[in-house]
Amino acid sequence: MCGICGIFDFTGNTIDQEIIRRMKSAIVHRGPDGEGEFFDKEVGMGHRRLSIIDVGGGGQPIGNEDSSIQVVFNGEIYNFIELRRELQKCGHQFKTCSDTEVIVHAYEQWGISCVKRFNGMFAFALWDGNKRELFLARDHLGIKPLYYITLGNQFLFASEIKSLLQHKYCPREVDIDALAELFTFRYVPSPKTLFKNIMKLPPAHTLVVSRSGIRIERFWNWEPVERKEYNEPDLIEEYQALLEDAVKLQLRSDVPLGLFLSSGVDSGMLLAIMSKHNTKPVQTFTIGFEDGEKTNEVADAKILAQMFGADHYHQILGPSDYVSYYERYMWDLEEPVGNETAAAFYFVSKLTSQHVKVALTGQGADEPWAGYDRHKGAKFSGIYSQLPCLVTNSLASLISMVPGRMERLKRGVVSLSEPDMLTRLIKIYSFFSADMKGHLYTGTLKQAFEADHYGTRHTLSRLQKNVKHLDPLSQMLYIDTRANLPDDLLMVGDKTSMANSLESRVPFLDYRLVQFVESLPPELKLNGFNGKYLHKKAAEKWLPKNIVHRKKKGFANPIEDWFRVGMKNYVEECLLSNDSAVARYFNQDYIRQILSLDRSGKEQYRRQIYLLVSFELWHRKFISN
């Protein structure tokens, strides 16, 4: 796990080394163990290292025998031992034991298609001095981030946006289209960011830069084909074997590993497998919240840890911890999201980093396995949309008038009456309905909205076209796994863990596992109203049934109550002050209504409020400042 950055000059001018060094300094938290750089006329690359594999000999950049190829790499290639053996049989000579060097020789052997052979999480840049080309790639599911921008005659790339901003000509402007997408999806889908002209390479894509221009291609074009005939016990055994192999691969490390432990099935499965293959007790880490008795996982996680003899640590957080952290929250995240649990990942990462340098997490099991409530709505949307409009419209109108904490239900009913699948999906995601946006937006944002209420649908259509032959639920799971997951949860997981110089790994997103799950018929993912059906069946090999089927809590926190009481003044200062960024784009009178309705209990608007606060903090940190 590291930080990378670099510049390519289309006109062949020599790169200013001082800019590369400033870019490196901005991401020192991603790699406090060492640094390196490489320059060759029109290209310059920088690297910050967090030593995980080959601690003594894996410094970067790493090159081939004649130094014509150089690579800077962020992430892990988990199958590097197997690839190394294969490459050695082809005659390649290795000078280190690192997984980074495997990328160099794999490129020599197989060209840019080498990425199809990598099982891992990666974002890297490789300079081919013979071809005078810069080759960039991002892993199958976007676990590792990679940003880029073209500034005049130069192309810049980096692991984080703050590194790009070190260039004096890098703009700091809000992208209005991306802002509209943020308030539709609660994140900005790839390839855009909220910064105008700063892009992110989508998951499973390569990018080649040369003097002739930029070429972007998708290298993982997996299109699921549903199994028509199957034996359920055989599938359970196949999944168990795949998961165990994925965990074993991701236990490869030359430094201590730990586990983010919740009270649920996903991290519990990882703990069971890790305990089987570890010679020492697994170190596990959990956080809880003041006044969060209904959602806290501390007690249950401790029992789970004791069950497997783990060394367990936990921490309790309160509103003051959040207020203190929010001063740097967006500096770490760089992209606002409507994910109210995002800050929690920072705190569990901070706790974990005090004991280990690598932690496995249970992220990535819900999206392909139908683990969220919205997936239940998607399953029955086909039936619902065929009902007479009189029935569906009446039901939607009735639900919308019911006061209280039913935000998800209201959003779901409104979306179900939409006949177009992609628009229905967007309505499910969006915290802000079309009516709310009409009241909230002002200025250019309101003009863009009035021109096309759902103009953002094209950002997901490129993914939907691969699965139009599948049922609505399978389409949603496929899109969730390639859009919502990398641009929201995985981005948050990477940025908050790396802010603490901690590497986080996600075994459930081994691409072989994802392909297996996506080949299953929908009833093995969502059986009736039972989500993650086969996943939970498989978990019974390792965990008691009462834990397997325990209600999901995740990183739930009482921030709704905190916003109303302990953080009330903080929220008002963010959203209602005259000089706030929110006032430039949004109707503050309407925001007052939202706050009032939420605090009275008449409506539940915590997600909308959280997204507005996140945008304000982002704007203050990067645009206003």
Q: Which residues are catalytic?
A: 2
Alpha helices, DSSP H, located in 158-287: 161-164, 176-185, 232-250, 265-277
Specify the pairing of strand 213-218 against strand 62-63: unpaired
SS3 of residue 187 by DSSP: coil
- Among 458, 581, 585, which Cα is nearest to 192's? 458
SS3 of residue 603 by DSSP: strand
- Among 445, 212, 462, 489, which Cα is nearest to 340's? 489
> Alpha-carbon dihedral of residues 182, 553, 245, 519, nearest 10 degrees?
-60
Angle among Cα 344, 123, 215 to the nearest 5 degrees reads 130
Query: How many residues can be counted in the chain?
Result: 625
Q: How far apart are CA 168 and CA 129, in angstroms?
A: 27
What are the Cα distances from residue 531, in Å, to 237, 518, 522, 551?
A: 19, 14, 10, 11
Q: How far apart are CA 309 and CA 284, in angstroms?
A: 10
Write the DSSP symbol of residue 482: I
> Alpha-carbon dihedral of residues 323, 328, 332, 337, nearest 10 degrees?
50
Is the CA virtual torsion 270, 298, 313, 280 positive or negative?
negative
Q: How far apart are CA 171 and CA 445, in angstroms?
A: 20
Q: Give me the long-range contacts of 114-120 (CB less than 8 A, separation at least 24).
A: 115/206, 115/219, 116/219, 116/220, 117/79, 117/83, 118/77, 118/79, 118/83, 119/77, 119/78, 119/79, 119/249, 119/510, 119/511, 119/512, 120/75, 120/76, 120/77, 120/78, 120/79, 120/80
Q: DSSP labels for 254-304? A: SS-EEEE--SSHHHHHHHHHHHHH-SSPPEEEEEEETT-TTT--HHHHHHH
Angle among Cα 536, 542, 547 to the nearest 5 degrees reads 60
SS3 of residue 246 by DSSP: helix
SS3 of residue 560 by DSSP: helix
